Amino acid sequence: MFCKDNAAGILLPAVPTVMPAVMLTVMLTVAGVAVAQAPVNRRYTETLLGPLPSEQYDSAVISPNGRRLASIEPSQAGQAVVVDGRSQKAYDRVAAPQFSPDSRWLAYAASAAGKWYLVVNQREQGPYDRVGPPVFSPNSRRLAHVALLPDGKRVVVVNNKPGKPYDEIFDGAIVFGGDGSRLAYGVRLGQQWHIVLDDQEGGPFDYLGSRTGIRFSPDGRRMAFAAYSAEKRQWSVVVDQQPQPAYENLGQLVFNGDGNRLAYAAMRPDGQWLVVVDGQEQKPYKAIGDGTLQFDPDGRTLVYAAEAGEKWLVVAGDHEGTPFDEVAEIRFSPDGRRLAYTATSGGTETVVLDGRPQRPFDRVGGGTLTFSRDGRRWGHIARLGNASFVVVDGRRNRRYDMVGYLTFTPDGAHYVYAATRGKEAFTVVDDQEAARRYEAIWTVPEARLPFDSAKRFHYLGLKQGNVYLVEEDVD
């Protein structure tokens, strides 16, 4: 199946250090020639978070609200987590720091004297022989992880309370549903596998699907996963504990917004792939694009990328789009009225908006396609030759060494992004550079440059070995 990877890193003036995927995204790392312009001295405030030596860049994690920073520093005792510039207790080793969705809690795994703990806001849970990475519920009220017991059994620990021990936890994966009130994971008892949903075991099954995983509907009412039958040598989607028709293989599972519809990719005995929607098979193709299956915001139209012959096209409902060499990053506008995706043809890349290809470039930045909240405006990052720039409403903007985090203001009147020239990093609003300069600008990739109000956004700025929370006004 076709998928397009997106690199991870930080927006630096030089070639970036590769960062964990939880961190942020490098948009385009190219050298370019910029046209000088007078910078605008916009209003801003700086709040010092603390020092951040370069050797801690690789471990740095930004909170979901983009206002906090955690990293791992070496110490005489081993390693310690640093949060907003303050060092916590040192351990032999620490790993997997993770902020809660509301950014109030920080959890990580830590070892001391041969035992492992889960540390939550500096409070230890354990000890265990090993612990898995922390998983927060969407409402931040529940925290789960896998733990290894001395007898070799595994348990899922929720809010510091161990559950029933099992021989194995499937893929070490723990999935919360809805706001976090529901919890599911796969387990092995002897040679059989089960799904544990809200502490109740379902099954048994011969095996479970890693590719599909466990999927809850957005409201948490419904759950689907893939199970394997050794006797039939086939896979079936199990929805609300009811097995569906069997196939040779299964791909992505997706619910619509209200959870009333389910779609998934399935492979027939002849090797052809098709999408099953509400139990109905759609037209078969050579392949279905991994990660492209999605419903529009209203849940009425299903779209995905499909390979037909040697070309890829986007299927929206019953309509097939224009074939291209590759297709990636399908995105609806927030109101669901517009559909855009990136496509490759003849060595160039373009954005296809509402079925019409836009201007081609050498590259369209992966993960950069965005709409304003009202869906009227759109933009992305692109490269042409050695120049990197943003494209807004089809118009190419000023060239820089690197650009990233393209964002529209809540009312859609302005667009904001970060850029680098030489050794300087700065923000740009409507093609006007800010006078304030940093050595690097970091933010959460999903949030891009998050807005706190109609005209104020924030990010983390690095200068002279320190990290600052910078709040800046558009005006």
Amino acid at 255: F
- The predicted pLDDT at position 38 comes to 67
What pLDDT is attached to residue 327?
A: 96
The answer to whether 32 and 399 are in contact (CB under 8 A) is yes
Count of positions (residues) in the chain:
475
Cα–Cα distance, 44 to 441 (Å, whole number): 15
Beta strands in 134-290 (DSSP E): 135-136, 143-148, 154-158, 161-162, 168-169, 175-177, 182-189, 192-197, 200-205, 207-208, 215-216, 223-229, 234-239, 242-247, 249-255, 262-267, 273-277, 280-281, 287-288
Question: The domain 167-179+182-219+222-258+262-290: what is its CATH number?
Answer: 2.40.128
CA distance 345 to 327: 9
Quick check: 143 and 158 in contact, CB under 8 A? yes
b/e code 97-106 from CB counts within 10 Å (16+ = b)? bbbbbebebb
Q: What is the DSSP letter of 17?
A: P
Tell me the domain boundaries of the chain.
Answer: 1-63+299-475, 167-179+182-219+222-258+262-290
Q: How far is the C-alpha of 293 from the C-alpha of 442, rounded, in Å?
A: 30
Quote the DSSP letter at residue 16: P
- For 353, the token pair is 């908006």
pLDDT tens over the chain, length 475 residues: 223 222 223 444 432 222 232 222 233 333 333 344 568 778 999 999 999 999 999 999 999 999 999 999 998 889 999 999 999 999 999 999 999 999 999 999 999 999 999 999 999 999 999 999 999 999 999 999 999 999 999 999 999 999 999 999 999 899 999 999 999 999 999 999 999 999 999 999 999 999 899 999 999 999 999 999 999 999 999 999 999 999 999 999 999 999 999 999 999 999 999 999 999 999 999 999 999 999 999 999 999 999 999 999 999 999 999 999 999 999 999 999 999 999 999 999 999 999 999 999 999 999 999 999 999 999 999 999 989 999 999 999 999 999 999 999 999 999 999 999 999 999 999 989 999 999 999 998 777 999 999 999 999 999 999 999 999 999 8
The strands making up 424-429's β-sheet, listed across from edge to edge, are: 402-408, 415-421, 424-429, 432-433
Nearest alpha carbon to residue 314 among 257, 369, 353: 353
Cβ neighbors of 233 (< 8 A, separation 6 or more) are: none
The secondary structure of residue 38, as a DSSP letter, is P
DSSP 445: T
Q: How far apart are CA 69 and CA 71, in angstroms?
A: 7
DSSP of 303-318 = EEEEEETTEEEEEETT
In this structure, the number of other CB atoms found within 10 A of the CB of residue 295 comes to 21
Of 316, 434, 416, the C-alpha closest to 372 is 416
DSSP output for 81-97: EEETTEEEEEESEEEEE
Which residue do the tokens 């809850």 mark? 216
Q: Is 221 exposed, middle or buried (0-12, 13-18, 19+ CB in 10 A)?
A: middle
Rounded Cα distance, 241 and 224, in Å: 8
CA torsion through residues 160, 166, 169, 174, sign: negative
pTM: 0.89
Nearest 5°: phi and psi at 18? -70, 130
Strands (E), 52-92: 61-62, 69-75, 78-83, 86-91
Architecture category of domain 1-63+299-475 in CATH: 6 Propeller (2.120)
Please check whether residue 360 is in contact with residue 338, taking contact to mean a CB–CB distance below 8 angstroms: no
The pLDDT assigned to 446 comes to 77
